[in-house]
Amino acid sequence: MGGEDTVELLCIITGFSPPTVEVDWLVDGAPGHVTATAMAPRPEEDGGTTYWASSRTNVTREEWLEGRSFSCRVKHPPSGLVTVGHARFCTGLEKLNPKHITIHILPPTVGDLYVTRQPNLRCVVTNLPSDLDLQLSWTKATPGVLSPDMLDLREEVNGTLTATSTLRISTDDWEAGERFTCRVGHRDLLVPLNRSIGRSRPPSSSSSPPHPEELQHPTLTLTCLIHGFHPDNLEVRWLKNHQDIPMDTYVTTPPLRDGTQEVTFFAYSKLRVLKSSWLAGDVYSCLVVHEGLTLKMAQRQVQKNPGK
């Protein structure tokens, strides 16, 4: 990567939480005047609570060939951990097996999306022991043909290989919430690795009171509809008077596609409550947790109207 006269150095930091991390670059072990571009922490695609981020910089090919040492220094203030990765590969904050192949997708820049309107995605596969039986492909959630650029394969100073695949996408697809997946196969992998990326779309939600006919029974049903979100990693909880309700007292469907050609999802949750609690005016809330929300969560309250 980089131009003919420059070499791009890439630092990938993974497996940290909470999402606060500081990265700077060292030249021959000391802070240098290095201009870097950082990507803000993003949730990892494993459904967990950890994050990943990246930082990249360009140095002259002359500096690289003359043997100068370039390192990225990673600080994680919440834990106090500091680690240093050399050359283009940074192991990050987790104890990474040096033989473990890793895959990440770098999102398009804001300038490429909205100024030049020529956005690219980059799938970066690090720590490859060789290129034997290496297979890398792209797919997207909706039908269509994808044409990535020729695979870029580079040897690292530690003897491993880094493969980078660049995919040109459209701003319209990104804005519409299209989701792209990079798939990597290799003879050293028992199963292929997959990573997906797409613009997060926050859910809309609404809570509904029980149907009037239900008031004849001792228990009532409250419902919560969540729709228009992606990715499909969503959590729904119910609260009573702002206190958590045990999860075994309500049911939430798995996320389902909003339509056969859509890339957004919907889910439905229902809670059974005592009629006496409802008539007493207890306040119930449907709490939705999703990465696309500004505060990562949103509440929708429902309670009996006074006097009814």
Mean pLDDT of 231-247: 89
State yes or no: pLDDT of 261 exceeds 60.
Answer: yes
Domain C-terminal end among 197, 217, 247: 197
In a domain, 308, yes or no: no
Write out pLDDT tens, residues 3-15: 456 777 888 888 8
Evaluate whether residue 173 is within a structural domain: yes
pLDDT at position 55, please? 85
- Same domain, residue pair 186 and 214: no
Mean per-residue pLDDT, 159-164: 92
For residue 123, being part of any structural domain is answered with: yes
Q: Where are the alpha helices (DSSP H) in 104-176?
A: 110-114, 171-175
Backbone angles phi, psi at 250, to 5 degrees: -145, 165
Q: pLDDT tens across 90-149, in order?
A: 333 333 333 578 888 998 887 888 888 999 999 999 989 999 889 999 999 888 899 999
Each residue of 38-94: pLDDT tens digit?
A: 777 777 765 557 788 888 888 776 666 656 678 888 888 878 788 887 764 333 333
Summary mean pLDDT of the chain: 83
The pLDDT value given to residue 62? 65
Q: Give pLDDT, residue 97.
A: 31
In a domain? residue 307: no
Q: Do residues 186 and 210 share a domain?
A: no
Same domain? 210 vs 141: no
Q: Tell whether 22 is covered by a domain.
A: yes
Rounded to an integer, the average pLDDT of 147-175 is: 92
Q: Which pLDDT value is given to residue 26? A: 83
Q: Is residue 144 domain-shared with residue 233, that is, in the same domain?
A: no
Q: Indicate whether 1 belongs to any domain.
A: no
Domain check: are 184 and 56 in the same one? yes
Residue 218 near residue 275, CB atoms below 8 Å: yes
Enclosing domain of residue 114: 6-197
* % of the chain at pLDDT higher than 90: 38
Instruction: Assess whether pLDDT exceeds 70 at residue 201.
Output: yes
Residues 52 and 15 in one domain: yes
Does 151 score more than 90 pLDDT?
yes
Strand-pairing partners, residue 168, are 120
Whether residue 170 is found in the same domain as residue 220: no
Whether the per-residue pLDDT at 308 is higher than 60: the answer is no
Six-digit token string for 84 = 């240093």
In a domain, 188, yes or no: yes
Element spanning 52, H or E: strand 51-60
Do 176 and 136 share a domain, yes or no? yes
Say what the pLDDT of residue 223 is: 97
Q: How far is C-alpha 307 from the chain's CA centre?
A: 46
Say if residue 275 is in the same domain as residue 226.
yes
Final residue of a domain: which of 174, 197, 220?
A: 197
- Segment 274-301, tens digit of pLDDT: 999 999 999 999 999 987 888 888 999 9
Do 73 and 26 lie in a common domain? Answer: yes
Say how many domains are in the chain. Answer: 2
Largest Cα–Cα separation, the chain:
84
Bond prior to 203 in cis (omega within 30° of 0):
no
pLDDT of residue 148: 95
Please compute the mean of the pLDDT values over residues 201-209 and round it to a whole number: 93
Question: 165, 197, 229: which is the final residue of a domain?
Answer: 197
Quick one: pLDDT at residue 29? 73
Q: What is the pLDDT of residue 85?
A: 78
Distance of CA 88 to the CA centre of its chain: 22
- The CATH number of the domain holding residue 268 is 2.60.40.10
Q: What is the mean pLDDT of residues 145-166?
A: 92
Cα–Cα separations (whole angstroms), residue 242 to 49, 237, 290, 301: 24, 11, 19, 10
Of the listed ranges 31-35, 72-76, 247-251, the one predicted with least confidence: 31-35
This prediction's pTM: 0.49
Structural domain includes residue 290: yes
Task: Verify that 16 and 108 share a domain, yes or no.
Answer: yes
188 and 99 inside one domain: yes
DSSP for residue 20: -
Spatial separation of the C-alpha atoms in residues 215 and 277, rounded to whole Å: 12
